[in-house]
Amino acid sequence: MALLKILLLVLFIPTSADAFVANCVMQASKVTTPVLNSQTKYPGWTTSSSRSGDGATDDANKIKVADESYALSSGSYAGGGSVTLPALSHRFTIPTGATIVGIAVEMKMYEQTGGLVSWTMCLYNNASTSNCKLYDGTIPNTATVATLGGPDDMWNYAGSPISLTPAQVNGSNFGHATAMIWNNSEQVGTKYIATDYYKMTVYYTGP
């Protein structure tokens, strides 16, 4: 009798172990990675009026569509100059309950002449700018597509990524602003950054 019990245990232990492993595999298969969604939009609003010194943008509305028609931002005097070029109101429709996980901005531009000191883009939310990115590198002198941010980039600035809700992103006061500063040691002349377009992509998961 005792021998029979031992044989039964030997026979059923592997079966129980196999069932345990199979159950673990089944449960693991139920754990899914959140689906990454995205929306890409061109800005619906911009302006040519943001400037200091003798800087200006000739027609900012040209950045609202990719059509090889370039908006020219310039600092055009011996003391340099700066231009702020905003791009807002992208008309996103991110669903309520979604989690924003990344922001990317694509642009096509070139530097027509020399003298640019810095080119910085900041996210713009409800009348204030924050979480800026400095363009890392030399602005090319031929039209080039570049992207700042990405699917998992929340524009970490000084250790603090931005936190955004669908309502904020969908609002007309959300977007970005680009600040361009020219060298104040340049001689009198006209120095341009030519921008074809900006477009923003918002990455999100859920709901």
Summarize pLDDT for 33-65 with one digit per residue, the tens: 889 999 999 999 998 755 555 567 888 999 999
Dist CA 89 CA 171 (whole Å) = 7
Tokens of 82: 């700066």
Domain of residue 111, residue span: 36-205
Low-confidence ranges of the chain (pLDDT < 50): 3-14, 187-188
185 shares a domain with 89? yes
18 shares a domain with 105? no
Q: Give yes or no for a contact between 203 and 104, defined as CB atoms under 8 angstroms apart.
A: yes
Q: What is the pLDDT of residue 10?
A: 43
Residue type, 144: T
CATH at residue 58: 2.60.120
168 shares a domain with 113? yes
91 shares a domain with 62? yes
Quote the pTM value: 0.78
Tally the domains of the chain: 2
Sequence-ordered list of residues with C-beta below 8 angstroms from that of 36, at least 6 positions apart, any chain: 101, 151, 203, 204, 205
22 shares a domain with 80? no
List pLDDT tens digits, range 187-207.
445 667 899 999 999 999 988
